[in-house]
Amino acid sequence: MRTLLGGTLLVHGVAHLVGFVVPWRIVSSGEVPYRTTLLGVDIGQVGVRAVGLAWLVVAVLFVALGAGVLKQAAWQYEAIVMLVAVSVVLCVLGLPESRPGLLANASIGALLLLGWFLGTYPEM
C-alpha cells in the first residue's frame, strides 16, 4: 500500500510539471494550450507565469513526499493532505485541462484513507 501511495505521489508530481512548462512556454501542447486566463479572468503573462511557478513548487513537493512515503518518513501524511488541497485549487484554476489531476488527487485521498482504515500507516 505504501509503495502504491509513494508511486502515485511521484507520478502526480511529474504530471504537475505540465502546469509549469506550458505557461513558461518551454513546451507547447495541443492538449494543454497556452492561455493567460484563470476562471475566465485574464491575469496576463506575468500572472500565468506566477501560477506556473506554483505548479512547479507543488510538483517538487509531491516528488519529495513520494520519496518520503517510500522511505517511511513519519512526517509526510499531514503534508500530503495539505499538498493535495493546494493541488486541488491549482487543478480547479486549470480546468478543463487539469480534470485528470482532480481524479489523481481523489485517488491519493482514497489511498490515504484506505491505508489508515487498514492500519497500513501506523504512524498516522
Mean pLDDT of 6-27: 96
Note whether 18 and 25 are within 8 A (CB). Answer: no
| Domain housing 107 | 2-118
Model confidence, pTM: 0.92
Q: Is residue 124 part of a domain?
A: no
Residues 6+ apart with CB under 8 A from 88: 102, 105
Helix axes 99-118, 76-93, angle to 10 degrees: 160
Number of domains in the chain: 1
CA dihedral angle for residue 115, residue 111, residue 53, residue 74, rounded to 10 degrees:
10
The pLDDT of residue 101 is above 90: yes
Q: Is residue 35 part of a domain?
A: yes
The amino acid at residue 21 is V
Q: What is the pLDDT of residues 65-95, one digit of tens each?
A: 999 999 988 767 889 999 999 999 999 999 9
The C-alpha cell of 17 is what? Answer: 510539471
List, in sequence order, every residue forming a beta bridge with 92; answer none if it has no partner: none
Q: Any idea what the Cα angle at residue 80 is, between residues 114 and 50, rounded to 5°?
A: 140
Q: Is residue 123 part of a domain?
A: no
**Residue 51: its pLDDT value, please?**
97
Q: Is residue 88 part of a domain?
A: yes
